[in-house]
Amino acid sequence: MLSDRLLELVNIAKLQQVINGGSPWLVLSSLLLVVTIGVIVDYGRMLWLRSKMPPGPLPLPMVGNTFHLPDNKPWLWFEQLSKQYNSPLITVWIGRNPTVWINDAWSANELLDKRAGVYSSRPRMTVFAELGAGQNNMVNMYTFTPEQRERWRVHRKLMHHAVGSQQVRNYRKFQNDESKVVAYDLLRDPANYVKHFERYATSVVSIIGFGRRVESYNDPIITEVIAVMHLAADLNVPGKSFPMLMETFPWLAKFPNAIAPWKHGLGKKRGTSFFYAVAEEAAQQPGHEEKFVKYLFDKQPEFNMNHDEIAGLSGNLFGAGSDTSSSTLITFVLACCAFPETLIPAWEEIDRVVGPHRSPHFDDEPNMPYLKAFVKEVLRWRSVAIIGGQPHAPTQDDHYKGYLIPKGTWVQGNVWAIHHNEREFPDPDRFNPKRFLKDDPDSRPFPGDKGYMTFGWGRRVCSGQVLAEQGTWITVARLLWGFKIEKKRRADGSVVEVDINDYTNGLNMRPRPFECSITPRSETHRETIEREGRLALQDLEQYRGESKYRMSTFYQESSRAMELYGDGGKGHKA
């Protein structure tokens, strides 16, 4: 680059001055000249790119628009900018690097789906990737070169074995049983509905991945893993405070952790070794040969996978599946409380098709179009991955409607803006399942046949999409069938209101805690829930098991092992 060459020439001049005995003031002035010229040239580059890219606010030298970012929920600001500039694509600069935000369903479909081959890579992510799991994790992998693309395809193929569209049909039996247990738990302890959802979601992916279920919401694996997932989600949301400020100043990430409190402990890659240990333990235990970790270790020699890769594949399945699915179910409860009128058609349809003496099963889905629309609206109304997951990056310079999108640029879909566009979703904050019924007046054209973009796009679409949709449908259907879910009433008869906008700030957002009332619809429903719940627990007994590892103590024990045995402690080191 021209700026790099100028810096080099000025540095040579400065060095010559020092050699010739130049005064300190001359050296200092030369240094200031270097900095000034470098900033001017670099800012010229930024402005030149800005003139060719989608519109957006004027970036400042070096820091871009970082300090323009709001403290919370920046996706609302990106939506506002899109309206302000009357453009579905806007450019926001994080430091010296541009990020293109897509705020329109049709543009997202055109770029990320129809041009999936171009937008298949990830950009450089200092905080989430370089200080996290790095390039050994499928979520972060670059696909700029043929070798990188091939490695990513290997990981995608392996993950497809666990949660591919055909494979997940084999999980319906235990997924259905775990859903029955959720209803049974809510009957006995409705106040802890969040914990029941987290146990359910974690248990399903634990059976798939490790061949054992999670029996109690007190199991520390739930709270520990979900806490890690929440932290990871926070590390994907652009911000003007640490640690996300390292995306603006990536050189700060080079400092050792001991003298860099702004890194918040990032850079140790500690989670990978824990998930490898748990995967190795489960793979060696007898029974359930179809479990995913057993398949990974069987395929390890063929694909030459290292410990970090096995840890990433098993950890991604376990962590992401537990957090996102439980968050979706919490949103479902919130929608029931805030929009009780939408429950009446659901009850009418369920009672007509199912009745009170059994709960819904997967074969009922084709006969319940309103319930199917209800689940779609849950996924649309308050999507969990609100900024579409990790950013995409084009593998080559691309052009869209006259705008340049340079190779390697951060490109993110603003799912909030996409799902709240009045054109596709009139009155978007209103929970309205009828908008997904084709003949309804509120129905609008939308790219793709699903009607929502909750799970991302193209080659980077969420691997577990079908599993999540399948589990959400059966659980929502069962809970609507069996319960009245409504606002909580105080002893004096007053109602505890709910706030449909009170959500967390991370990439995977969920409602903040709220009280509600969950009661069986009738005595017959109660008896059916109890009967089916007990039978489901009997069926699930085959998946009983427990890991000896706890994330909270794993690294303390690993450190002691290293002290005692030296290299012998590497057994769990990724």
Which of these, 206, 244, 231, lies nearest to 95 by C-alpha position?
244
Q: Is 420:76 a contact under the CB 8 Å cutoff?
A: no
Which of these, 56, 183, 185, 111, lies nearest to 400 by C-alpha position?
111
pLDDT at 87: 98
Is the pTM above the cut of 0.75? yes
pLDDT at 11: 53
Residues near 543 by Cβ (< 8 Å), separated by ≥ 6? 174, 207, 211, 212, 213, 288
Which of these, 519, 467, 150, lies nearest to 317 by C-alpha position?
467
Which of these, 456, 180, 196, 226, lies nearest to 318 by C-alpha position?
226
Number of other residues whose CB lies within 10 A of the CB of residue 276: 24
61 residue type, one letter:
P
- Does 337 belong to an annotated binding site? no
The strand order across the sheet containing 89-94 reads: 89-94, 97-102, 410-413
Domains for the chain: give ranges and CATH numbers: 53-572 (1.10.630.10)
CA distances from 282 to 224, 286, 546, 548 (A): 18, 8, 9, 10
pLDDT at 208: 96
pLDDT at 573: 35
Q: What is the DSSP string of 102-165?
A: E--HHHHIIIIITTTTTT-B----IIIIIIIIGGGSTTT---SSHHHHHHHHHHHHHHHHHH-T
Q: Give 449's DSSP letter.
A: S
Burial of 147 (0-12, 13-18, 19+ CB in 10 A): exposed
Q: Is 447:423 a contact under the CB 8 Å cutoff?
A: no
How many CA within 13 A on the CB side of residue 393? 19
pLDDT tens-digit profile, the chain (574 residues):
444 544 454 455 544 554 455 578 888 888 899 899 999 999 999 999 999 999 999 999 999 999 999 999 999 999 999 999 999 999 999 999 999 999 999 999 999 999 999 999 999 999 999 998 889 999 999 999 999 999 999 999 999 999 999 999 999 999 999 999 999 999 999 999 999 999 999 999 999 999 999 999 999 888 887 888 777 878 888 999 999 999 999 999 999 998 999 998 888 765 568 899 999 999 999 988 899 999 999 999 999 999 999 999 998 987 778 889 999 999 999 999 999 999 999 999 999 999 999 999 999 999 999 999 999 999 999 999 999 989 999 999 999 999 999 999 999 999 999 999 999 999 999 999 999 998 898 899 999 999 999 999 999 999 999 999 999 999 999 999 999 999 999 999 999 999 999 999 888 899 999 999 999 999 999 999 999 999 999 999 999 998 888 887 886 665 554 444 344 333 333 3
